[in-house]
Amino acid sequence: MATQNTPMSFRESVDFMVDKAIAAIKLEPDVAAAIKSCDSVLQVKFPVKINGRIEVITGWRAVHSTHRLPVKGGIRYAPIVNQDEIEALAALMTYKCAIVDVPFGGSKGGLLIDPKKYTRDQMQLITRRFTLELVRKGFLNPATNVPAPDMGTGQREMAWMVDTYKHLNPDDINYIACVTGKPVEHGGIRGRTEATGRGVQYAIQEFFRHKELVKQIGLKGGLGQKRVVIQGFGNVGYHAAKFLSEEDDVQIIAIIDRCGAVVDEQGLPIQELYEYKNKNKTLEGFGNLKFIVEGKKLLELDCDILIPAALEGQIDEKNAHNIKAKLIAEAANGPITYAANQILHEKGVMILPDAYVNAGGVIVSYFEWIRNISHIRFGRMQRRYDENRGQHLSQALKTLTNASLPIALEQKLTTDADEMDLVRSGLEDSMRTAFQELKQVYNSMDEVTDLRTAAYVIAINKISRTYLDIGVY
């Protein structure tokens, strides 16, 4: 446990935040302990031959709760991975799935490596060997434990894992559902890559539909022209910035990357900046913008909305007092420590919690898993039927009015929904419905004074009911 001389671990920080919700609903201590405990943790150490030398790679896969199956959670490759982090992230996955009504338990995995130090072929060798370890020990299966991409991994690694699982289980007709986040050509689903960033956008959009909450934090009007700072310019940060700036007319005034930051009070050109970063591996030198090496200091920039989309623990007791944003949307996992959360709450800062805000990835992973298990793409049965029905409606309106319809209206009536449309619709509905449930708890319980506690109240209530139904206690 944390003391005055040692900082609180990531896992302890998560547990302390959950404890507030447990106290609010007066859950029995023994039941609370059962829900918070991590069911199992696998640690593996396996040798891989790299450049003629044997390297021993260390990895983990934690299963927090099997109250729903399969358990779900990403696999990250990073030089900072450790067991405490993996257990904390597995717990967050359990709560996250419950909050947005995805019927999965929580899991997480990782390898203690720096992906930048290895070639593509070496990464494939490492990934396939890790997959072998997970499958052999029962920690990867389409029915029980389904990984997805996370920091340092992506579609490429998921394709390697699927192929490895298939060769180890040639008779499993559901093999393609053993992971999500795959390339579309290998069983993936359109919209998964940008799902977490899109979910961040939907979460913020829904917040601004509730005018009393907007007024509570001292903001006025809608989302348009709000000044936003984003930390992290990877998959999540980039897509959140892109969608918010292009579709909601917000001003992204600062982007903070691992190497530094750039600022433009008039709003940054996100797509151009992203392409520049991919080409040059840095934000430095873009246009005439000043590059700030101490990028983390820009978390304290005066803005309306702050979106931390990088690593955990970025806002702590050292800088929380200097945060000027009125709304923080946690796109990363655990970017605010427990101590900082208390400070920000006292300052009147509204926090949209990570267990809700970044749930877009697992929601669309759920859609992908369903698609794989059902062995049919979304829309195949009804797509043309819907298109024909729209054409009949268009023709009926023309006949009744004896006039042609505006081109835009006719296109909306006669255009069928493709898979991307259906994925986005399902994601938006999930994010909006979950926020409305958060708000209802926030407004109705005197013991709940922030949206994070409201989110955990929802999760703990759902999980405890499941445990009671199946007779765990």
Residue 472 has pLDDT above 60, yes or no: no
Is residue 3 scored above 60 in pLDDT?
no
Three-state SS for 298? helix
Query: pLDDT tens digits for 264-277?
Result: 999 999 999 999 99
Residue 4 predicted with pLDDT over 60: no
Model pLDDT for residues 406-424, shown as the tens digit of each residue: 888 777 777 777 888 899 9
Fold for 38-186, please state it.
Rossmann fold (3.40.50)
Using the predicted structure, report yes or no on whether residue 392 has a pLDDT greater than 80. Answer: no
pLDDT tens digits, residue range 101-110?
Answer: 999 999 999 9
Q: Evaluate whether 229 touches 183 at the Cβ level (below 8 Å).
A: no
217 and 326 Cβ atoms separated by less than 8 Å: yes
pLDDT higher than 90, residue 390: no
The angle, 0 to 180 degrees and rounded to 10, between the axes of the packed helices 419-444 and 195-208 is: 50
Q: Which of 371, 23, 31 is nearest to 187 (CA)?
A: 371
The catalytic residues are 108
pLDDT for residue 91 is more than 60: yes
What does the alpha-carbon distance between residue 391 and residue 387 come to, in Å, rounded to a whole number?
A: 6
Burial (CB count within 10 angstroms: exposed 0-12, middle 13-18, buried 19+), residue 246:
exposed
**In the chain, which residues fall in CATH 3.40.50.10860?**
38-186
Pick from 135, 195, 138, 137: which is nearest to 161 by CA? 135
118-151 pLDDT tens trace = 999 999 999 999 999 999 999 999 999 999 999 9
Give the whole-angstrom CA distance, residue 162 versus residue 388: 38
Q: Is the pLDDT of residue 198 over 90?
A: yes
